[in-house]
Amino acid sequence: MSKIAAKRRVRRAVADGAPASTMGSMGRWPKHVALALGWIAGCGSPASPAAPSTVEATATTTSAIEDGVLDTTHNFAVGIVQTSQLQSHQISVCSGALLAPNLVATARHCVSPLTSPMVDCGTSTFSGVLPASDLLITTDPQLSANSTFVGATQIVVPTGTDHDKVCGNDIALIVLDRSIHVPEYVVPVISPPMTDPMYSTSVTAIGYGIDSPTDMSGMSAGVRRIKQNIGLACIPNDGALGACFKSQGAQQVLAANEFVSGDSSTCDGDSGSSAFDQGSFDQGKWVSFGVLSRGAVSQDGQTCIQPIYTRFDAWRALLVETAALAASMGGYALPSWASALPDGANCSDSDQCASTSCVSTQGDAMTGVCASPCNGGSCASGLSCLGGYCFASPPQSPSQVGGCSAVPGAPTTPISLAVGWAGVVLLAVGRRRRR
């Protein structure tokens, strides 16, 4: 396990903005704001301000929003400013994605502090959620004193048994106090799951983090950057991408409802950003697999590696329920991804199902259940493959009506890993105080 490393001040301040007292739902940054890097290391070897964390490679597939390019186009990718530390002259920055006009998905650690700086997937937990009034959201491609922000009115996080644990539960939904209008919003992958063969095995990353771990001052943070064609490295229980780590302390670094993307992609400040299915992105469709939770740095300190994401398809109920709340508050129709029926629901037409497969049962062509096709003859745990489809309670004679797949098993391999939160902190330089 690692500990929180020291925060670093920068040498540059951005242009003056309005005083802090004017900050609100459409506020500005406080006067004299500067960028600084805040690095929080997770499970693995101890980190220190003088030396980056060390890791072993997790992936056989890697690809070099590290070294990304400026993104002024995709305004569904937003920047999130947390002002809870304003009295200490600090403002934290994360990234997120608009799922609907007034609904943003991000990482939970962006809105809920950890109970301990030491992160272990078996024991580490979140504490209470910050007030919604502490958050400001913007679509501006570069955060500055002149950025325009929308406020938050509600924060929704997992609340079930063991859902206070960090790993696998690092997801939060923010309901905004007004709508942000963009041509199209992000569609979270919830059903069929991200392991379905309809999706590609590479992603696009968009976030507001630094562009290299060698940027020790954080001068490159606060700019929205994009990087495409990043190969997925690992999804637990999915044999298509090769082995995932399950032994030798793997419970300390990865949960079952997480996945790992390729190296040389996300860095500090990209927390909460989405991993977009590359095939869909190439077609102008913004389809996201999940939100960035944490990552690490290579042994030589030159590359951000092993970004770990929380999967959307593990949180369907949370997403659908919050989308209904946001739609009611915003006065718009529920997004189609939130109204489609999940696997196992009764249906009469494939268009009703998220899997696009309504399978008739017991020879009755008028009724059926939504079901995803089997993936190579395999289904997720608790499901059985019959007639090419996955069922919890297999029908007598399944008949295809349309659709897509499920999750196969996978071998395991050991891994050792030092994980870091991909967070950025902004420091106001009026009265200088150290934390």
Q: Total domain count for the chain?
A: 1
pLDDT value for 377:
72
Q: Which of 26-35, 98-107, 222-231 shows the lowest mean pLDDT across its residues?
A: 26-35
Phi, psi of 353 (to 5 degrees): -100, 140
What's the mean pLDDT in 280-298?
93
pLDDT at 51: 28
Q: What integer pLDDT is reported at residue 291 of this predicted model? A: 97
In this predicted model, which residue has the larger pLDDT, 7 or 252?
252
- pLDDT value of position 201: 93
Alpha-carbon span 390 to 393, nearest angstrom: 9
Residue 377: inside a domain = no
In this structure, is residue 392 part of a structural domain? no
- pLDDT at residue 350 greater than cutoff 70: yes
Q: Percent of the chain beyond pLDDT 90?
A: 38
In a domain, 30, yes or no: yes
Range name among 73-82, 229-238, 326-335 with the lowest pLDDT average = 229-238
Please report whether residue 367 resides in a domain.
no
434 found inside a domain: no
Who wins on pLDDT, 122 or 428?
A: 122
Q: Lowest-pLDDT range, 76-85, 253-262, 380-389?
A: 380-389
Q: Which residue has the higher pLDDT, 110 or 433?
A: 110
Number of H helices, E strands in the chain: 3, 25
Say whether pLDDT at 1 is over 50.
no
- For residues 317-334, b (16+ Cβ closer than 10 Å) or e, as one string? ebbbebbebbbebbeeee
**Cα separation, 217 vs 213, whole angstroms:** 10
- The answer to whether residue 179 scores a pLDDT higher than 90 is yes
Measure the CA–CA gap between 212 and 3, rounded to whole angstroms.
21
Supply the mean pLDDT for the chain.
73
Which CATH number characterizes residue 101's domain? 2.40.10.10
**Letter string b/e over residues 372-409, b meaning 16 or more CB atoms within 10 A of that residue's CB:** bbbbeebbbeebebbbbbbbeebbeebbebebbbbbbe
pLDDT at position 26, please? 35
Mean pLDDT of 171-181: 97
pLDDT tens digits, 401-430: 433 222 222 222 222 333 444 445 543 323
In this model, does residue 23 exceed pLDDT 60? Answer: no
User: Range of 164's domain?
Assistant: 20-316+415-428
For residue 161, being part of any structural domain is answered with: yes
27 occurs within a structural domain: yes
Highest mean pLDDT among 111-120, 234-243, 388-397: 111-120
pLDDT digits (tens, 9 = 90+) for 123-150: 889 988 999 999 999 999 998 878 999 9
Indicate whether 198 belongs to any domain.
yes
| Residue 287: band (very low, low, confident or very high) from pLDDT cuts 50, 70, 90 | very high
* Confidence band of 92 (pLDDT split at 50, 70, 90): confident
- pTM (2 d.p.): 0.72
Over the stretch 295-325, which tens digit does the pLDDT of each residue have? 888 888 888 888 999 999 999 999 999 999 9
